[in-house]
Amino acid sequence: MMGPLVKKKKEVWERLELLAQGAKFDVSCASSGVTRNNKASFLGNASRFGICHTFTSDGRCISLLKVLLTNQCHNDCAYCVNKRSNHHPRTFLSPEELAYVTYQFYRRNYIEGLFLSSGIIRSADYTLEKMIDTVKILRRKYGFDGYIHLKILPGASEATIVEAIRWADRVSVNLELPTPQSLVKLAPEKNMKELLSIIELISKKIDEFRENPSGYNAKGGQSTQLIVGASPESDLIILTLSQQLYKKYKLKRVYYSAYIPVNQDSRLPAVSTPPLIREHRLYQADWLIRFYGFTVDELLSPDSPNLEEGYDPKLAWALRNLHYFPVDIMKASYYELLRVPGIGPISAKRILNYRKHTSLSLESLKKLGVVIKRAKYFITINGKMIDQKAKVDFLQSFVFKPQPKMTQLELFF
Amino acid sequence: MRKENHSWLQELVCRFDQNLKKQSKLRQDSLFKQEISSLAQLLANVDKDVLKVLYYYSLSEKDRFFEDLKQIVSLVSAGKERLIFSDPAFFHIYKTANRVRREIHRYKGFLRFKEVKGGYLYAAFEPEFNVIIPLARHFANRFRNEKIILHDRKRGLAVFCHKGHMIQAEIIKPIPQETEEETFFSNLWKKYFETLAIKERENLTGQKRNVPLKYRKFMVEFEP
């Protein structure tokens, strides 16, 4: 087995390089959500919190071997590096080769598992089957019990999608664009209705298999990705969609990917730098929706449909809703505490725990993990404000400071 | 008590025992007369989270470990365990324990194994804290069928793991040479690592924050 791959050394390098190039814009990297201890004589386990194995020079973590089965594709999506009309070398790694490289990387502790995606050759069904073959070789031949994330290809049959779920720890379908109109424009072969119906199918199947002891059953759930800045939608539209995905289809994560121009395409906006701050603010708002009990309507409205770039969405909400404050640390409920800038789920839980037994002071709040620098303007302790003057100064600095405006992109309308 | 605590508890008691012997030699008269068995009993009743913190703290090899453990045990036996997280004495223990925990977590990702002749996977590292045992436990479980060697070069400690067993080892001969496949796959990994970076998003500060320089010495992808 060893022989052929090492002999083709140079060639394997080149192919892996091309296939990694094609996969790197998918931002999902999580290896979390599944706990699995090693059964006898297997290779690998999974850790609920995920493990990062290294970080590239763009500061992103590498947890999984993120790679394509092939970078050939019969779709022509404007934003995608692998689109049909691009003229760059096309190649593939066979399921056997891919499984072997994954196995060798894993046992050197380079990676936590495999993230396998692909361009579409012949048909979506055929390609997805090849991807599943890779997983089967890994699981059976190498006894690999580590983390595997499979990309589901739109257009694959229900039976093949179910098979993918049975063998993977997490699956994902990328929506990429938040409205049907943008999809039609930029990804003519895809359509929103179909993508959402696949997401629905996956969510149903994952539920169905939950108690099934055989198979891997995508216990890590499903995720998706949205590109930010390639189409004109506001944050309101994007986050409304995310909220729906979390609620209705129980997605584990929605990833936001700042649009980076990789193609010359008249359908796309001209941008010089990717909107990284906007991406960051979207993630913050996403967290508020998932863990803090916020709804999109509270963060954004049709009158101001975009998140401020100058400060985080929770602070922005607090400044718009000063009537809500101050919140008293000794009396407020969990969700009331969570609304205070500088208090998160961990510190809120600790506060609830500690105030049962003892009175809290500014000092002890600090030890419980509260960011006093922020929180002090919004809280009282047993009815006492911490620093009245500072509060006034702080709020005025926001009220009178000109609000930083979102940089509007040069859009194609 | 949950089963998973068991191995920590043993280690913790063992450390305590060693420390007690060391201390009693130094300070015969002010001897701390806690029987080891009753300590084990006391610790068995300690809240799981607190026990975890104490365990990680013991790995920090701080000089004050013995005194601190005494103090916490007395707090617990006085029934003040619930408030322990806001206790000032416990606070610095907690902070140090967190640093140990972070180092363990990072090494779970950053430790690199090399395949050497004779069929071994060898990993060298120089951790700030004495974290080789919890790491060996992780990798012994993960690479059950491999013969792996972890080598803490700073402390001269080594652990050999195979089939889920962990055995304390001593490195007495030079480490064998890398295999041919090792050269191939480590180069493939380096190449992959470079390819994956998106140059439009370059962020070296973020990279340095996430992989501090001290870890890079033993990571192939950061070799010059």
Q: If you average pLDDT over each of B84-98, B105-119, B190-204, which comes out highest?
A: B105-119
Contacts of A303 (CB under 8 A, 6+ apart): none
> What is the reported pLDDT for B46?
76
Residue A214: pLDDT band with limits 50, 70, 90: confident
| Residue A171, amino acid | V
Taking only the tens place, the pLDDT of each residue in B46-66 is 777 888 888 899 899 888 887
> Using the beta-carbon criterion (under 8 Å), do A20 and B199 form an inter-chain contact?
no
pLDDT, position A263? 85
Q: Which residue of A has its CA nearest to B188?
A: A13
What mean pLDDT comes out for the span A1-7?
56
Q: Where are the alpha helices (DSSP H) in A168-234?
A: 180-186, 192-209
The domain defined by A2-221 folds into TIM Barrel (3.20.20)
B85 in contact with A, Cβ within 8 Å? yes
The answer to whether the CB atoms of B206 and A55 lie below 8 A apart is yes
Q: What residue spans define the domains of chain A?
A: 2-221, 321-400
Encoding tokens for residue A296?
């999109």
A401: pLDDT strictly greater than 60: no
**Interatomic CA distance for residues B200 and B197, integer angstroms:** 9
Q: Omega into A269 within 30° of 0, i.e. cis?
A: no
Long-range pairs for B152-157: beta carbons < 8 A, 24 or more residues apart: B152/B125, B152/B126, B152/B127, B153/B124, B153/B125, B153/B126, B154/B126, B154/B127, B155/B130, B157/B130, B157/B132
Chain B, 62 to 81: residues with Cβ < 8 Å from chain A are: none
Is A272 at the interface with chain B, CB within 8 A?
no
CATH number corresponding to A321-400: 1.10.150
- Confidence at residue B20, expressed as pLDDT on a 0 to 100 scale: 53
For residue A110, give the nearest of B139, B189, B191 by CB distance. Answer: B189
**pLDDT tens readout for residues A249-306:** 999 999 999 998 888 888 888 877 889 999 999 999 999 999 999 999 999 999 999 9
Q: How high does pLDDT run on average in chain B?
A: 82
Q: Is A15 near chain B, with CB under 8 Å? A: no
Query: What b/e readout covers B106-141, taking b as 16+ CB neighbours within 10 angstroms?
Result: bbbbbbbbbbbeeebbbbbbebebbbbbbbbbbbbb
| A220's tokens | 């890590």
Nearest CA in chain B to A1: B181
Structure confidence by residue, pLDDT tens digits, B160-173: 999 888 888 888 88
Mean pLDDT of B208-212: 92
pLDDT at residue B67, as a whole number: 82
> Would you kindly state where each structural domain of chain B is located, as residue ranges?
5-106, 111-222
Measure CB to CB from residue B207 to each of A42, A57, A66 and give the nearest one: A57
CA-wise closest residue to B178 among B126, B119, B109, B111: B119
**A287 near B CB under 8 A:** no
Is some CB atom of chain B closer than 8 A to the CB atom of A248? no
